[in-house]
Amino acid sequence: RFTSRPQFTNCPTMIVMVGLPARGKTYISKKLTRYLNWIGVPTQVFNLGQYRREVVQTYKNYEFFRPDNEEAMKIRRSCASNALKDIANYFTKEQGQVAVFDATNTTRERRGAIISFAKEKGYKVFFIESVCDDPEIIEANIMQVKLSSPDYENYDKEEALVDFLKRIDCYKMSYVPLDEEKDRHLSFIKIFNVGSRYLVNRVQDHIQSRIVYYLMNIHVTPRSIYLSRHGESELNLLGRIGGDTGLSSQGQKYAKALAEFIRGQSIKDLKVWTSHMKRTIQTAEALGVPYEQWKALNEIDAGVCEEMTYEEIQATHPEEFALRDQDKYRYRYPKGESYEDLVHRLEPVIMELERQENVLVICHQAVMRCLLAYFLDKSADDLPYLKCPLHTVLKLTPLAYGCKVESFYLNIQAVNTHRDRPTNVNVARKPEEALQTVPEHL
Amino acid sequence: MNATEDSTEQSGNSLTRELTQNPLKKIWVPSSTNGLPDRHISQRKVCMTNCPTLIVTVGLPARGKTYISKKLTRYLNWIDVPTKEFNVGQYRRECVKIYKSFEFFRPDNEEGLKIRKQCALAALNDVRQFLTDEGGQVAVFDATNTTRERRETILRFAEQNGFKVFFVESVCEDPDVIAENIVQVKLGSPDYTHCNTEEAVADFMKRIKCYENSYQPLDEELDRDLSFIKIIDVGRRYLVNRVQDHIQSRIVYYLMNIHITPRSIYLCRHGESDLNIKGRIGGDSGLSARGKEFAKSLGQFIQSQNIHDLKVWTSQMKRTIQTAEAVGVPYEQWKALNEIDAGVCEELTYEEIQQRYPLEFALRDQDKYRYRYPKGESYEDLVQRLEPVIMELERQENVLVICHQAVMRCLLAYFLDKTAEELPYLKCPLHTVLKLTPMAYGCKVESVCLNVDAVNTHRDRPSNIDVSRLPEEALLTVPDHH
DSSP for A29-60, please give it.
HHHHHHHHHHTT--EEEEEHHHHHHHHS-S--
A199 and A141 belong to one structural domain: yes
A212 and A259 belong to one structural domain: no
Contact A216 B41 (CB under 8 A): no
Residue B195: per-residue pLDDT: 87
Question: Do the domain assignments include residue B48?
Answer: no
- Final residue before a domain boundary, out of A181, A216, A251: A216
The reported pTM is: 0.93
- Final residue before a domain boundary, out of A150, A184, A216: A216
Query: Which range is least confidently modeled, A384-393, B163-172, B323-332?
Result: B323-332
Question: Do the domain assignments include residue B24?
Answer: no
- Final residue before a domain boundary, out of B197, B225, B256: B256
Residue B12: per-residue pLDDT: 34
A288 and A164 belong to one structural domain: no
pLDDT-derived band at B376, boundaries 50, 70, 90: very high
Residue B328: per-residue pLDDT: 86
A207 and A244 belong to one structural domain: no
Q: Is residue A8 predicted with pLDDT exceeding 90?
A: no
A195 and A250 belong to one structural domain: no
Q: Is residue B127 predicted with pLDDT exceeding 80?
A: yes
HEC profile for A155-204?
CCHHHHHHHHHHHHHHHHCCCCCCCCCCCCCCCEEEEEHHHCEEEEECCC
Residues of A in contact with B220 (CB under 8 A): 197
Question: Do the domain assignments include residue B339?
Answer: yes
Residue B40: per-residue pLDDT: 45
- Final residue before a domain boundary, out of A216, A250, A283: A216
Question: Do the domain assignments include residue A5?
Answer: no
A199 and A238 belong to one structural domain: no
Question: Do the domain assignments include residue B329?
Answer: yes
pLDDT-derived band at B114, boundaries 50, 70, 90: very high
Question: Do the domain assignments include residue B137?
Answer: yes
A387 and A251 belong to one structural domain: yes
Identify the residue among A133, A202, A216 best suited for mutation to test binding to B, counting B beta carbons within 10 A and taking the highest: A216
Q: Is residue A70 predicted with pLDDT exceeding 50?
A: yes
A274 and A316 belong to one structural domain: yes
Report, as an integer, the average pLDDT of A96-124.
97
Report, as an integer, the average pLDDT of A335-355.
97
Report yes or no: A130 at the B interface, CB cutoff 8 Å: no
Residue B9: per-residue pLDDT: 36
B270 is an active site residue: yes
A230 is an active site residue: yes
Residue A98: per-residue pLDDT: 98
Each residue's pLDDT tens digit, A297-329: 999 999 999 999 999 999 999 999 999 999 999
Distance of CA B65 to the CA centre of its chain: 18
Each residue's pLDDT tens digit, A154-199: 899 999 999 999 999 999 999 999 999 999 999 999 999 999 999 9
B277 and B333 belong to one structural domain: yes
A148 and A274 belong to one structural domain: no
A163 and A212 belong to one structural domain: yes
B294 and B363 belong to one structural domain: yes
Question: Do the domain assignments include residue A2?
Answer: no
Q: How many domains does chain B have?
A: 2
Residue B440: per-residue pLDDT: 84
Question: Do the domain assignments include residue A4?
Answer: no
Q: How many domains does chain A have?
A: 2
Q: Is residue A344 predicted with pLDDT exceeding 60?
A: yes
A201 and A232 belong to one structural domain: no
Question: Do the domain assignments include residue A441?
Answer: no
A155 and A256 belong to one structural domain: no
Question: Residue B307 belongs to a domain with what CATH number?
Answer: 3.40.50.1240
> CA-to-CA distance for B438 and B417, rounded, in angstroms?
13
Question: Do the domain assignments include residue A237?
Answer: yes
Residue A7: per-residue pLDDT: 61
B307 and B200 belong to one structural domain: no
Question: Do the domain assignments include residue A399?
Answer: yes
Cβ burial, residue B109 (10 Å; 0-12/13-18/19+): middle
Question: Do the domain assignments include residue B124?
Answer: yes
Q: Beta partners for B163?
A: none
Long-range contacts, stretch B188-195, CB < 8 angstroms, 24+ apart? B188/B440, B190/B93, B190/B99, B191/B93, B191/B99, B192/B99
Q: Which residue has the higher pLDDT, A403 or A147?
A: A403
Question: Do the domain assignments include residue A442?
Answer: no
- Final residue before a domain boundary, out of B199, B221, B256: B256
Question: Do the domain assignments include residue B109?
Answer: yes
Distance of CA A251 to the CA centre of its chain: 30
Residues 6+ apart with CB under 8 A from B107: B113, B210, B213, B214
Question: Residue A303 belongs to a domain with what CATH number?
Answer: 3.40.50.1240
Contact B333 A3 (CB under 8 A): yes
pLDDT-derived band at A57, boundaries 50, 70, 90: confident
Report yes or no: A413 at the B interface, CB cutoff 8 Å: no
Q: What kind and span of H or E run contains A91?
A: helix A70-93
The catalytic position among B293, B339, B360, B380 is B339
B66 and B160 belong to one structural domain: yes
Q: Is residue B15 predicted with pLDDT exceeding 60?
A: no
3-class secondary structure, A236: helix
B308 and B244 belong to one structural domain: no
B167 and B125 belong to one structural domain: yes
Contact A228, A297 (CB under 8 A): no
How far CA A371 is from CA of A5, A270, A364, in Å, comes to: 21, 18, 10
Report, as an integer, the average pLDDT of B247-255.
97
Q: Which domain holds residue B394?
A: 265-476
B437 and B324 belong to one structural domain: yes
Residue B27: per-residue pLDDT: 85
The catalytic position among A129, A299, A320, A337 is A299
**A 341-370 near B (Cβ less than 8 A):** 341, 344, 348, 352, 355
How far CA A210 is from CA of A5, A308, B334, B386, B413, in Å, comes to: 15, 38, 17, 17, 25
pLDDT mean across residues, chain A = 95
Pairing mode, strands B399-403 and B311-314: parallel
pLDDT-derived band at B367, boundaries 50, 70, 90: very high
Contact B379, B409 (CB under 8 A): yes
Q: Is residue B310 predicted with pLDDT exceeding 50?
A: yes
Question: Residue A145 belongs to a domain with what CATH number?
Answer: 3.40.50.300
B343 and B367 belong to one structural domain: yes
pLDDT-derived band at B32, boundaries 50, 70, 90: low
Q: Which domain holds residue A108?
A: 13-216
The catalytic position among B169, B270, B360, B387 is B270
d(CA B434, nearest CA chain A) in Å: 22
Each residue's pLDDT tens digit, A274-286: 999 999 999 999 9
Query: Which range is least confidently modeled, A91-95, A416-420, B181-185, B222-226?
Result: B181-185
Question: Do the domain assignments include residue A335?
Answer: yes
d(CA A336, nearest CA chain B) in Å: 11
The vertex-A397 CA angle with A391 and A402, nearest 5°, equals 120
Residue B37: per-residue pLDDT: 52
Question: Do the domain assignments include residue B38?
Answer: no
Residue A377: per-residue pLDDT: 97
B226 and B115 belong to one structural domain: yes
- Final residue before a domain boundary, out of B199, B230, B256: B256
Report yes or no: A51 at the B interface, CB cutoff 8 Å: no
B194 and B102 belong to one structural domain: yes
